[in-house]
Amino acid sequence: MSTWYSSSVVEPGLTLVTEPAVHDYFRANVFVLNGRDRNLVVDAGMGLVPLRPALPLDPDRPVIAVATHIHLDHVGGLHEFDERAGPRVSAAGFATMPDALTYAGMFRGFPGAVTRPPFPGWRSEDYRLEPAPLGRALVAGDVVDLGDRSFTVLSLPGHAPDSIGLFDEADGLFFCGDAIYPGGLIDDLPDSDRAAYRATMRLILSLPIRLACGGHGNVMDPETVRMIADDYLHATDRRR
């Protein structure tokens, strides 16, 4: 069993998996939700060590892996899953994982990229993402159905143009990728869009969220989500 990943149970059937040895700028969350008919995996880490064997997947049920956007820290292990879904906006990119979309080049030579190598002789300079062509390209309003519960796809651009989220309208569980998480939000990448990000924050503020699972850091209660979204809107309000 790999010791690369760390996992914790968020609530029954929902597990958070991270890569503690990865620099915190890149250390992202992987979520596993065990549904009645299918397991859902949200995001797929850096791809430095095989991910799938480290996940608490029910072997009797198929798995659908959904990438919230195409950035390197969310798609590294995506190729390990047979059923792959991700945003239609960047769908073509998943077949080749170009640096221009994934920003994988930022990790190569990054000081302190990892606190220990994933395997002997590993060098960040050699970092490459495995292509993971999508079987399903998601747009807003699409539904990801696990049998006993289902998630509606939301378009959440701003941090990245292709950012999507999954929202269970019946339960308030929200997988939001890098649209919102505790910690510094990144809206200054070459293809970030602050106006779009502001609209995304207003959308998030309108949702009846119970628990939000972001791409980085701890899961968030509704008050935390509201505070982060309000802070962002305030900080980016040019009329201030």
Site residues (CB under 5 A) for Zn ion? 71, 178
Q: What are phi and psi of 143, to 5 degrees?
A: -125, 135
Q: Provide the sign of the torsion angle of the four alpha carbons 185, 187, 189, 191, taken in this order.
A: positive
Minimum CB separation of residue 65 from Zn ion in Å reads: 17
Is the CB of 19 or the CB of 178 nearer to Zn ion? 178
Maximum CA extent, the chain: 55
Q: Which is nearer to Zn ion, 168 or 178 (CB)?
A: 178
Nearer to Zn ion, 104 or 134 (CB): 104
CA distance 87 to 132: 13
Tally Cβ neighbours within 10 Å of residue 50: 13
Q: Which is nearer to Zn ion, 63 or 70 (CB)?
A: 70
Tell me how far, at minimum, the Cβ of 35 lies from Zn ion, in Å: 25
Minimum CB–partner distance for residue 47 and Zn ion (Å): 15
Residues in the chain, total: 240
Q: Which residue is nearest to Zn ion (CB)?
A: 71
Instruction: State the minimum distance, in angstroms, from the CB of residue 198 to Zn ion.
Output: 17
Q: Which is nearer to Zn ion, 178 or 187 (CB)?
A: 178
The least CB distance from residue 96 to Zn ion, in Å, is 18
